[in-house]
Chains A and B, each alone.
Chain A
Amino acid sequence: MSAYPSNANRRSFLKQTGRILIGFNLLPLGFCSLQAEGEGEGPSSDKINIDSWIRIGADGQVTILTGKMELGQGIKTAIMQIAAEELDVHMDRVNIIIADTAHTPDERYTSGSASIEGGGMTIRKAAASARHILMDMAAKKLDLNKNILSVADGVVSDGKSSISYWELLTGKRLEGKLLDEVMVKAPADYSLVGTSYPRKDIIDMVSGGEVYVQDLKLPGMLHARVYRPPSYAAKATSVPGEIVNDMPGVVKLVRNGNFIGVIAKEEFQAVKALQVLQAESKWEQSSLYPTQDLLLAKMKEQAKGEEVEKTLKGSFSSNDQTIHALYTKPYQMHASIGPSCALALFDDNGLMVWSHTQGVYPLRKTLADLLDLPEEAIRVKGVPGAGCYGHNGADDVAADAAILAKAYPGFPIRVQWMRYDEHAWEPYGSAMAFELSGNVKNGKISSWQTKLWSDTHSSRPGGKAGHFIAARSLENPREFDAGGYSAGSYRNSIPLYDFPREIIHHKYSGPLRTSALRSLGAYGNVFALESFMDELAYSIQEDPVKFRLDHLKDERAKDVIRMVADKAGWDSGDRKSGMGIAFAQYKNTAAYLAVVVKVVADYINQTYRIGKMTAVIDAGQVINPDGLRNQTEGGMLQAASWTLFEEVKYDESGITSTNWETYPIMRFASVPEIDVHIIERSLEKPLGAGEAAQGPVGAAIANAVFNATGSRLRDLPLRPEKIDWNKL
C-alpha cells in the first residue's frame, strides 16, 4: 500500500518528494504553499499592471496569467494565441497559468461565453501594451528609431543589430500599465489568430496523462466520501459512528449536524464506509413539494411578474385570431461525466484547495465565510475537471473537502462525489414555463407577448456560505439566500425580431436546487420563442425562413439564416422535408447562430431520430476556427440530448434520477451527422460563442418534428410518445 507518513514527519516527507512532484504537470509550481512559488511572485493586486497578465523569463519563456479556467472549451490555447500574436512570439515559447488565487488576477467566473470577449481582449491589450513598451526599450538600448524596428519571435531588430525581449528584461518584471489607446495588430497582419492551432492538452488526454483534479495524488493524501442525506432537508437521527470508525482504514468519521463525511487511508475503504453509512443510518425525511405532476400548476400560481421589456403601446390584446401557446421545460442536469472532486489541505499555513471551480476567487471568498478564515489564509488553485457546463458540484465538493480538511489537519484530503451524489445534488437548470401570444396582420407579427416563469439560474457561491450544500447541513446551518440576480431567467426572451411586444418574467421558487446550466434561461426562452415563430408562420402558410427574414433588420442575423438554409438544402415549398429551422443571437449581444435540423420519422415504430444538423455561426473575429467549430458541434449535440431525452425526475422522497439509467443522455446510436459553417468577420470584435447553439437546436428539433409529423410538441423533452401518430 502507499506510504502513509505520520503527522510529525509529514513536512520532511513533503520536502523529499516535493522536488519530484514539481515535474508533475498539474503542479507546475510546487503544490502546497499558500504563497505563490518563485521569488517575489504572486498576483499583482492591480489588473492595470501588465505583469498581472504577462511575464517574460530570462530563458525566453513567456508566461500568460489568466483568471479564466480551462473547462474543456480550449480557452488556454485561444488565449495563448491572442498573446503570442500581439507579442510576435512563437507559440512554443508561451505557457499559461490558469485561475489560481496565488498567481492570477481575479476574473470572477469563467461563464456566460465571456472568456474571449472579456479575458481574451484584456490579454490582447496587455500583450500589445507589453510589445509597445518593449519596443521603446529596444529602441533606446539599440539607439535606433523605433519605427525601423520589427519583431520576430521576440527578437527586436532593424535587420542589423538586435535584442530580444528577455535580454531587455533580464528576468525582471515588465513595468508598465495596460495602455488604453495602444495599437493592436490589424487583423490583416495576423499570422496566428484565425488559425486552428491545435490544443496540446489532448495529447495528455489520449495517453493517460495527469490532466484532471481527479488525477492529483499528493504525498500522505487521504480519501474521503461525504454521505449526503436522502433528500435536501432530511435530518439524521442515527448514524453508525462506532461501526464505521472501526472499519479498516477509516481515519475519522466527521459529523457536524447533518453533514457526514468519512476519511480513510484508501479510496475504496472510504467507499465501503460510505456503503455502511447508507445501509445503517436513519433519517427523518422531509418531503419535496410540489411534486412533478403539480409543478406547472404551482409555478403558474405565481401571478406577479416583472416587465422585462415593453415596446407595445398599451397592453397586449387578444382577439379570435390571436394564437396562444404554452411551452414547458423540466429541470435538467449538467450531468458531468466525471463526478465532482476536490483536494484540500489545512495546516498552520492555512487552507489550500485544488478545485475545478469556475471561479477561484468567489470560491475562496465563500470558503472564508464558511470556515471563518481570512481570505488571505486560503489559496484556491484551479485544476481542470471533467466538463461542467455551468455551476455543477465543483464548488460544493471543494467545500466538502475544506470542511473535512479542517476537521483533520495536516493531510491532503481528496473527496470525489459518487455518481448518485452528482446526479442528485448538483444544482439543476430550472424548470420553466412560457406562455406566448401573438397577432399576425398582413403577413407580419403586429403584437407579441411572452410570459415566463422560472426559478433562479444563478446561485453560484459568490461569498455566501449558504450556497454550499454542505453549509446547509451543518449543526448551525447557513441560510441559502437566492439573491437578486434574475436576468438569467429571461436571457434571450426578448426576440431579436422587429415587432411590438411585451415580455413579463415571473420569479418562482421551486422545490429543487437550481443554478447556472449552459446558456441559463436562453435554452428555454429560445425553444419557446423560435417554436412560436414557426407556429405563427404556419398560421399564415408562410415559409419559416422567409417569415424570420421578414421580421429582422440585423443583416448579420439574416446572413446566418440565409446561409444555413442554403447549406442545408432548405426547400421552402416542401412541407414534408422533415426540416426545421431556428435562430438566435446568444444574449442578443454575442454570437449569431442558425440551425436546420432534419428529423427522420419512423412511422411504423412510432419514433424518430435526428438525421442531420446544419449550423451557421457568426462569432465575429474568430481566434481559433477549429476550436469554435468544436464548441459549436458540442453545444449542438448536448442541446439535442437535452431536447430528446432529458428530464430530472423526483418524487416526495427525493430525486429519483440518480444514474444514467434514470437520467439517460445521448449515446452514439442517436448521434446525427453534423455540419457547422463559420461566417468569419475578422474586422469585427470576437463574440462569445460557447453557448450559442443551445437554444436554437431545441427549437429547430421541435420545428422539424412538426414538419415531419404534424404534431407540435411544446413540452420538453420531445419524446416520440408525445407525437400524435394518428395525425398522419
Chain B
Amino acid sequence: MSTFITLKVNGKSYEIDVPPDMPLLYALRNNLMLNGPKYGCGIERCGSCMVLLDGKAEPSCMKPCSDLEGVDITTIEALGSRDNLSPLQEAFVDMQAAQCGYCINGMIISAKSLLDQNPNPTLPEIKEGLQRVLCRCGSQSRIIDAVLLAAKKLKT
C-alpha cells in the first residue's frame, strides 16, 4: 500500500511513492540516496539518524513520512559539501573529531541545532545539546572541542 508523499528535503520538494508509515530515515537513505543520516537503533535512542526538522535536531528513524509533509527537512549534506564545508563541519575536520565516524552525522546535526539557538554555548550546554547522540569510539572529548571551535569560527 503506497501513496505519493511530498517531502521537502534540503530546499527541494520530492514526490515519493512509499508506504505512509515508512520512517523518514528509509526515504532519505534509499529513495533520496542521502548517506548522512544513519540507522543506529531504530527507536530514537542513539541519534545516528539525526536530521533538522524545521531547524531543530530530531531523530528520523521512527517518524513516519506521512507526518512530515510541509516540514522543512535538512540533512548534513545541505550544510556543506566535501569541497565547501561549513565552519561547523570544518571544525570537526580541524579537531580530527572522529574515529569510525558513524555517529558524526548526529553530532553535527545536534551541534547545528544548538549553535543556531545558542551561539555561545557553555560546556554543560554543549553536553546537553549532544546528550541524545551516542559515540562508541570515545571521541566525545574531541567532539566537544570541535563544537567549541565551531562557535568561535562562526563568530568571526
Interface presence of A72 (CB below 8 A): yes
* Docked complex Cα distance between A387 and B45 (Å): 18
Question: What distance in Å separates the Cβ of A374 from its nearest Cβ neighbour in chain B?
Answer: 33
| Residues on the A chain within 8 Å of B97, using CB | 202
Pairwise interchain contact A635-B105, C-beta atoms closer than 8 A? no
Pairwise interchain contact B100-A387, C-beta atoms closer than 8 A? yes
* Docked complex Cα distance between A1 and B26 (Å): 12
A contacts, CB < 8 Å to B: 1-2, 71-74, 196, 198-199, 201-212, 214-215, 217, 248, 266-268, 272, 335-339, 384-387, 389, 416, 418-419, 626, 630-631, 633-638, 641, 659-661, 665-669, 671, 673-674
Q: If the complex has contacts A207-B77, A208-B105, A339-B39, are A660 and B134 also in contact, measured as CB distance less than 8 A? A: yes
Instruction: For chain B, residues 74 to 124, give those with C-beta under 8 angstroms from any C-beta of chain A.
Output: 75-77, 79-82, 85, 89, 92-93, 96-105, 108
| Residues on the B chain within 8 Å of A671, using CB | 127, 140-141, 144
| Nearest residue, chain B, Cβ from A198 | B96
Pairwise interchain contact A660-B101, C-beta atoms closer than 8 A? no
Pairwise interchain contact B100-A202, C-beta atoms closer than 8 A? no
Of the residues B23, B29, B82, contact of A204 by C-beta under 8 Å: B82
8 A-B contact pairs sorted by A residue (CB < 8 Å): A1-B18, A72-B98, A206-B93, A212-B38, A386-B136, A387-B100, A387-B137, A641-B138
| Nearest residue, chain B, Cβ from A672 | B141
| Nearest residue, chain B, Cβ from A673 | B141
Pairwise interchain contact B43-A1, C-beta atoms closer than 8 A? no
* Docked complex Cα distance between A185 and B150 (Å): 39
Pairwise interchain contact B137-A72, C-beta atoms closer than 8 A? yes
| Nearest residue, chain B, Cβ from A215 | B35
Interface presence of B46 (CB below 8 A): yes
* Docked complex Cα distance between A491 and B43 (Å): 37
Question: What distance in Å separates the Cβ of A98 from its nearest Cβ neighbour in chain B?
Answer: 14
Of the residues A2, A384, A641, A661, contact of B100 by C-beta under 8 Å: A384
Q: Secondary structure of the A side of the interface?
A: loop
Pairwise interchain contact A211-B101, C-beta atoms closer than 8 A? yes
* Docked complex Cα distance between A634 and B137 (Å): 5
Q: If the complex has contacts A202-B101, A419-B43, are A633 and B35 also in contact, measured as CB distance less than 8 A? A: no
Pairwise interchain contact A2-B134, C-beta atoms closer than 8 A? no
Question: What distance in Å separates the Cβ of B133 from its nearest Cβ neighbour in chain A?
Answer: 8
| Residues on the B chain within 8 Å of A418, using CB | 42
> What 19 additional pairs, Cβ within 8 angstroms, besides A72-B101, A671-B141?
A73-B99, A199-B96, A201-B101, A202-B104, A203-B82, A207-B81, A208-B77, A210-B35, A214-B39, A337-B46, A338-B38, A386-B100, A419-B40, A419-B41, A419-B46, A630-B99, A633-B138, A637-B141, A671-B127
Pairwise interchain contact A633-B136, C-beta atoms closer than 8 A? no
Pairwise interchain contact A338-B134, C-beta atoms closer than 8 A? no
Pairwise interchain contact A630-B42, C-beta atoms closer than 8 A? no
Pairwise interchain contact B138-A638, C-beta atoms closer than 8 A? yes
* Docked complex Cα distance between A332 and B131 (Å): 22
| Nearest residue, chain B, Cβ from A72 | B100
A-B contact count (CB 8 A): 181
Interface presence of B153 (CB below 8 A): no
Of the residues B38, B85, B89, B131, contact of A667 by C-beta under 8 Å: B131
* Docked complex Cα distance between A107 and B92 (Å): 32
| Residues on the A chain within 8 Å of B26, using CB | 266-268
| Residues on the A chain within 8 Å of B140, using CB | 637, 666, 668, 671
Of the residues B1, B80, B131, contact of A668 by C-beta under 8 Å: B131
Q: If the complex has contacts A202-B92, A419-B43, A669-B127, are A266 and B137 also in contact, measured as CB distance less than 8 A? A: no
* Docked complex Cα distance between A633 and B42 (Å): 28
Of the residues A1, A208, A386, A636, contact of B75 by C-beta under 8 Å: A208
B contacts, CB < 8 Å to A: 1-2, 17-19, 22-23, 26, 29-31, 33-36, 38-43, 45-46, 48, 75-77, 79-82, 85, 89, 92-93, 96-105, 108, 126-128, 130-131, 133-142, 144
Pairwise interchain contact A206-B22, C-beta atoms closer than 8 A? no
Question: What distance in Å separates the Cβ of B105 from its nearest Cβ neighbour in chain A?
Answer: 7
| Residues on the B chain within 8 Å of A636, using CB | 138
Pairwise interchain contact B89-A207, C-beta atoms closer than 8 A? yes
Pairwise interchain contact B42-A335, C-beta atoms closer than 8 A? no
| Residues on the A chain within 8 Å of B81, using CB | 207
* Docked complex Cα distance between A661 and B102 (Å): 20
* Docked complex Cα distance between A499 and B105 (Å): 50
Question: What distance in Å separates the Cβ of B83 from its nearest Cβ neighbour in chain A?
Answer: 9
* Docked complex Cα distance between A214 and B102 (Å): 10
Of the residues A207, A215, A387, A659, contact of B85 by C-beta under 8 Å: A207
* Docked complex Cα distance between A623 and B89 (Å): 26
Of the residues B89, B131, B136, contact of A665 by C-beta under 8 Å: B136
* Docked complex Cα distance between A636 and B96 (Å): 17
* Docked complex Cα distance between A387 and B105 (Å): 15
Question: What distance in Å separates the Cβ of B26 from its nearest Cβ neighbour in chain A?
Answer: 5
Of the residues B48, B89, B139, contact of A630 by C-beta under 8 Å: B139
* Docked complex Cα distance between A198 and B97 (Å): 11
| Residues on the B chain within 8 Å of A209, using CB | 35, 82
Q: If the complex has contacts A74-B99, A386-B102, are A660 and B141 also in contact, measured as CB distance less than 8 A? A: no
Question: What distance in Å separates the Cβ of A367 from its nearest Cβ neighbour in chain B?
Answer: 24
Pairwise interchain contact B144-A338, C-beta atoms closer than 8 A? no
Pairwise interchain contact A634-B139, C-beta atoms closer than 8 A? yes
Of the residues A207, A211, A634, A667, contact of B80 by C-beta under 8 Å: A207
* Docked complex Cα distance between A173 and B20 (Å): 56
Question: What distance in Å separates the Cβ of B130 from its nearest Cβ neighbour in chain A?
Answer: 5
Pairwise interchain contact A339-B40, C-beta atoms closer than 8 A? yes
| Residues on the A chain within 8 Å of B30, using CB | 2, 217, 266-268
Question: What distance in Å separates the Cβ of A257 from its nearest Cβ neighbour in chain B?
Answer: 27
* Docked complex Cα distance between A196 and B42 (Å): 37
| Nearest residue, chain B, Cβ from A73 | B99
Of the residues A199, A335, A384, A630, contact of B136 by C-beta under 8 Å: A335
| Residues on the B chain within 8 Å of A71, using CB | 100
Q: If the complex has contacts A208-B105, A267-B30, are A635 and B100 also in contact, measured as CB distance less than 8 A? A: no
Question: What distance in Å separates the Cβ of A484 from its nearest Cβ neighbour in chain B?
Answer: 31
Pairwise interchain contact B1-A268, C-beta atoms closer than 8 A? no
